[in-house]
Amino acid sequence: MHRWLRKDAAAAWGFLLPSGVGFALFYLIPFAIGVLYSFMNSPVGGHFVGFDNYKNLLSSGSFRKAAWNTFYFSAVGVPLNLGLSLGLALLLNQSSYLRTWIRTAYVLPLVVPVASIIWVWQIIFDWNGSLNAWLSYFGWERVDWMKSNGARYVVIIFYIWKNIGYNVILFLAGLQQIPKDYYETAQMEGAGSFRQFYSITLVYLTSTSFFVIIISIMNSFKVFRETYLISGEYPQDRIYMLQHYMNNMFQSLDIQKLTAAANVMVIGILLIVFCLFTIERRFRRFME
């Protein structure tokens, strides 16, 4: 038995080895090199300068603006996405008819190419787009949406529309795993809808919600591709994100600021995930 277990473990490691090598070559090693470059004054023939690159980064007005815009976008977009996706999942879970007919609608943004999506959104929010056409029809002035203060909210709407379908699928899977007997027992004991939602639904959706929150935060940091295609390298100030800053540093070959900004963003994401783990653990203990 011991020999069989050893052979099984060896086979497992053999299957994992190619993926591990690829992950190390394309992720771990480049990340380690990026951390090293962030403490150098030049990637070629440079010398160690300590935290000077990080000091220059934090004193940069463009970096602070990008960091604030990214934080604001995630702080507003992620809760809205979670609330809407959970509410839609609860609605669909109550009606199999709606779940069957709306399934294509909330899965469609996941399969449509980004270039096609951007083209549609440009048709809607362009100066000569359909939205401004309707505004002009009702006597309102045209708005250059992607160059106004409302650009931030356009991107938030786009982020919610693109990611809500995946969250709905996850929440639906979690809701369908909750035994209906618990709700029937709660109704017999006089528990109202809010009490059932708080004491049963949220408790059994803890793991699912935790996973959805992490995925939503990660997706909020990936909105650069869409905003870049819509607005270019230097978009309106309120949608100038950390990814725009790093992309501009890459194009100017300022590797020191690029790697320092990337490391700061990684540290921020790790802190957020650590806080979420702590909150999820304490919530479980409280509910138990």
Contacts of 195 (CB under 8 A, 6+ apart): 186
Q: What is the pLDDT of residues 232-286, one digit of tens each?
A: 777 888 888 888 888 888 888 888 888 899 899 889 888 988 888 888 787 777 6
Contacts of 108 (CB under 8 A, 6+ apart): 165
The CATH architecture that domain 57-287 belongs to is Orthogonal Bundle (1.10)
Q: What is the pLDDT of residues 167-203, one digit of tens each?
A: 888 898 888 888 888 887 878 877 777 777 877 888 8
Share of the chain above pLDDT 90, in %: 5
- Cβ atoms 162, 154 nearer than 8 A: no
The mean per-residue pLDDT over the stretch 40-56 comes to 84
Give yes or no for residue 94 having a pLDDT over 70: yes
Give yes or no for residue 135 having a pLDDT over 90: no
DSSP string, 95-140: -HHHHHHHHHHHHHHHHS-HHHHHHHHHHHHSTTSHHHHHHHHTTP
pLDDT at site 53? 87
pLDDT tier at 231, thresholds 50, 70, 90: confident
pLDDT at site 97? 65
pLDDT at site 79? 92
Contacts of 29 (CB under 8 A, 6+ apart): none
**b/e map of 174-200 (b: 16 or more CB within 10 Å)?**
bbeeeeeeebeebeeeebeeeebbeeb
Give yes or no for residue 2 having a pLDDT over 70: no
Q: What is the pLDDT of residues 242-255, one digit of tens each?
A: 888 888 888 888 88
pLDDT at site 184? 77
pLDDT at site 81? 92
Lowest mean pLDDT among 25-34, 65-74, 218-227: 218-227
How high does pLDDT run on average in the chain? Answer: 82
27 vs 45, higher pLDDT: 27
pLDDT at site 4? 54
The mean per-residue pLDDT over the stretch 138-148 comes to 81
pTM assigned to the model: 0.81
pLDDT at site 283? 73
Give, to the nearest 10 degrees, the angle between helix 151-175 and helix 224-231: 150
pLDDT at site 99? 64
pLDDT at site 80? 93
Domains of the chain by residue range: 57-287
